[in-house]
Amino acid sequence: MKSKCILLIILSVIILSCNNTVKDDPTDTLTSGYTTVAIDESYTFLFETLTRVFEDTNPDAKIKIIVQNEKDAFKSLIDDSCKVMVSNRELTKNELAILKSKNIYPKTTLFAYDALALIANPENPDTNLDIDDFKKILSGKITKWNEIGKNSNKEILVIFDNPNSANFHYIKDSLLNGTELQKNCYGVSNNKEVIDYVSKNKNAIGIISAGWITDDYSNIAKAFLRQVKVMAVGHKSSELYYKPYQYYIADNSYPFIRRMFLINRQTRMGLGTGFVNFICNIDKGQLILTKAGLVPVYLKVRDVKANVE
């Protein structure tokens, strides 16, 4: 009787161990299962398309897109609330150290280039903006339109999305070297609110992700472009100004270019890795990036010269 009890206990332990193993083992593959991807709100349209095409190609795959600001997205990656995130910067040494302390060795892949766009009200007579003047506007050294040669003595208002976004960090870190934006600069909630504000205020300059107005897949993006106009940015000395069109991003003529990274904490061949591979594939994801107005890393943007005669 005693031996039977011992045998039952051993069998129970084995069964429980097997159940735990099944529960903890990941079940997703490169083309099936479930995973989460965190993105900045700037890339909403793009990843709606990428996800839809990937899931249509792989019916057993389900990708949940989490729209977060840049700060929260990095936290989600470190906390394992997402397997992959999209960012305009690489992990810091501190972030890498935290992940490595958990035996996580993420892979960072540069997959595209995009840009910030400056937008103005359609009734604003100005279409060009000098880079140095724009920096002075952000730092508060220029506050009115007539200080940059325009007729209006109205205050220049700069509108951006929320202070934890990738757009805001680019402006602060790349253009102002970490200094604070001045009182003429205002944050709202997202790119859509920036567009809405500028469409109703003649004296405003909006800062948005270029993908919100250049994505050929998105009818919403095309509608936004009818509400505002895109400013060209350059230098008064050369009289050369550029808009955030794909070709000018590809040849580095446009000044406000950003790198786009996929950061994957999934070191095995799971669905997160499969999605990253899809985005970097020249016959699949990279073609979608091109259509969305971005510059893909693995697919060359063609220079097409049109004959207007």
pLDDT in tens, 215-229: 777 777 778 888 999
Same domain, 88 and 197: no
Percent of the chain at pLDDT > 70 equals: 89
pTM of the model: 0.84
Whether residue 156 contacts residue 142, with contact meaning beta carbons closer than 8 Å, is answered with: yes
- Is 20 a residue whose pLDDT tops 60? no
- What tens digit of pLDDT does each residue of 135-155 get? 999 988 999 988 887 767 889
Q: Return the CATH number at 151.
A: 3.40.190.10
By three-state DSSP, how is residue 185 classified? strand
Residue 114 identity: D
Which residues pair with residue 204 across a beta bridge? 157
How many domains would you assign to the chain?
2
Mean residue pLDDT of the chain comes to 87
Same domain, 250 and 187: yes
Q: What single DSSP character describes residue 175? A: I
Same domain, 119 and 96: no
* Structural domain contains residue 303: no
- What tens digit of pLDDT does each residue of 167-201 get? 888 888 888 887 888 888 888 888 999 999 999 99
* Structural domain contains residue 8: no
What pLDDT does residue 211 have? 85
Whether residue 299 contacts residue 286, with contact meaning beta carbons closer than 8 Å, is answered with: yes
Instruction: Tell me how many helices (H) and strands (E) the chain has.
Output: 12, 13
Distance CA 123, CA 57 (A): 45
